[in-house]
Chains A and B, each alone.
Chain A
Amino acid sequence: MTPLDEQTRPDFPILERVVNGRPLAYLDSAASSQKPRVVIEAMARYYERTHANVHRSIHTLGEEATELYEAARDRVQRFIGAPRREEVIFTRGTTDGINLLADALGHTLRPGDEILVTEMEHHSNLVPWQMAARLAGAVLRAVPVTDEGSLDLAALDRLLSERTRVVAVTHVSNVLGTVNPVAEICRRARRVGAVTVVDGAQAAPHLPLDMSALNCDFYVFSGHKVLGPTGIGVLWGRREALERLEPTRGGGEMIREVWIDRADWNDLPWRFEPGTPPIAEAVGLMAAVEYLDKLGMDRVRAHTQRLAREAAEALAALPGVTVYGPREGRGALVSFAVAGVHPHDVAAFLDQEGIAVRAGHHCAQPLMRRLGVVGTTRASFSVFNSSDEVARLVAAVAALRSAL
């Protein structure tokens, strides 16, 4: 079979770019992925041929737009193995989805209740819970990270109690690449009656997902990291869990009937989608997950994890380079540090070589403190990346200390 990168490269127009005189090696998909032509064209076609507002337009374009928007929901449902279509709610992204949950679940908390997060959370899966805890007088606790870069599951058991009302955990760490055993974590959380929220921002682009097997109550991810557009995300919730949530955002579309002093809520999923939704973005997201499904998520996982492993091993072999994260069970990224060189200087140097990486705290400052660093440099991989690009990265890092 043709290697995935050879098969997919021609599908990504942006990869034709030359940056600083070198062909672009885009190793920053964990921040935002690039878009295949089918996504760009689907959105352009939608705007050129179909656009109208959805759901209440009694005209042809409105009906077509509604049909496309709801078809996108069905397509996402299949992509994540969700049992029911009404469990798929479109948001503006992962951050938006978590804020929605923190607001809605926050209203159910009482003083002394506990929210359990982990030390490896992105600020997006931490700060909204801090806000919810502060408003409710609840307590925020965090599962520590081991020296190997995994979650301390023994500590998880000690931290879980009948006071734990919410457990919010990332599926894949955006810094360490750790793939957390979320099904097991959710199983333990459920034993104490806690609601479980999984941040899937770094998992959805690379792992086959099956909501019916994952055991969580809520799962959130972004469109722009799964080869889709910015401005849209997915919040999946078990129907019973969603039914128990009181909406915290009002407006059109989320209601059934409105009086001056009150309103009845609409059915799921629209109850949580007030206002005009990101319609073109849903169309683009549909094209993106179709593209990924055609490639096969098992194949995507194997390819991106192989590249991350290659990069981790080769970088770790360089003098003065430290690689973070677990040796086994690494997702599609690798974070590293070069002794004596600040991550931003590493990234600026690599950019000069046409290599785009992320550097800094990766919106995970508590984890940076745990690792004892200001920041790291992170290379992350997608379907179109190749072993040659890994080799370019490693050669550039090897040359870095003498070149700066």
Chain B
Amino acid sequence: MTVEAGRPRGVALYSDVIRERWRRPRYRGELPEANVVAEDVNPLCGDRVRLMLRVEDGHVRAARFLGDSCAICTAAADVLAELLEGRARAAALALDAQALLERLQAEIRPSRLGCVTLPLAVLRRALGAEGPVGGPAARR
């Protein structure tokens, strides 16, 4: 029999931050004063994330998201919205998957990295940036 190393039994599937942000997202909801809105889907799973931003003087003043998405994607969108508020456009676009993973205190297996990068792709679309999302997930 082949025995492979796996996650130790009894350890939760996702990090505490992911579970907390998925169960009780802080930045999920409408943003009526939004002046920048973008949306995208993950073609692999059909997950959809909509990002609403209030951008003034080149800074993100407020951010909210809505989406049909898994726990990882929901938590990633939630911490992204949090990280965005108060950031200048360039600093917002500098956020990458690594930044979200640090905030989520999670290691994500390759097959689920797209769940982390979807909100980042929506952000790039919202801010009219060219090119792919940066960070480790960009290799996939």
Contacts and interface: CB of A to CB of B under 8 A. Distances in A.
A135 interface: no
Nearest to B14: A404
Contacts of B1: 16, 18
Q: B2, B13, B19 — which one has the most chain A CB atoms within 10 A of its CB?
A: B13
Given A342-B70, A345-B70, A360-B46, A352 B13 contact: yes
Interface in A7-25: 16-21
Contact size range, B: 20 to 34
Interface in B1-22: 1-4, 6-7, 9, 12-14, 19
Nearest to B109: A348
Interface string B107-137: 0000010010000000000000000000000
Contacts of A20: 4, 6-7
B4 to A, nearest CB: 6
A18 B3 contact: yes
Nearest to A23: B1
A370 to B, nearest CB: 14
Nearest to B8: A21
A322 interface: no
Contacts of B69: 342, 374
A374 B3 contact: no
Contacts, number: 65
Contact of B47 (A19, A352, A374): A374
Tell me whether chain B's interface is mostly helix, strand or loop, or mixed: loop
Contacts of A21: 3, 6-7, 9
A374 B112 contact: no
A230 interface: no
Interface string B16-53: 00010000000000000000000000001111100000
Given A19-B6, A360-B44, A374-B46, 11 more contacts: A16-B1, A18-B1, A344-B70, A345-B70, A348-B13, A348-B112, A360-B45, A374-B45, A374-B68, A403-B13, A404-B71
23 contacts: A17-B2, A17-B4, A18-B3, A18-B4, A19-B6, A20-B7, A342-B70, A342-B74, A343-B70, A344-B47, A344-B115, A345-B72, A348-B112, A349-B13, A352-B6, A360-B46, A374-B45, A374-B47, A374-B48, A375-B46, A403-B12, A403-B13, A404-B19
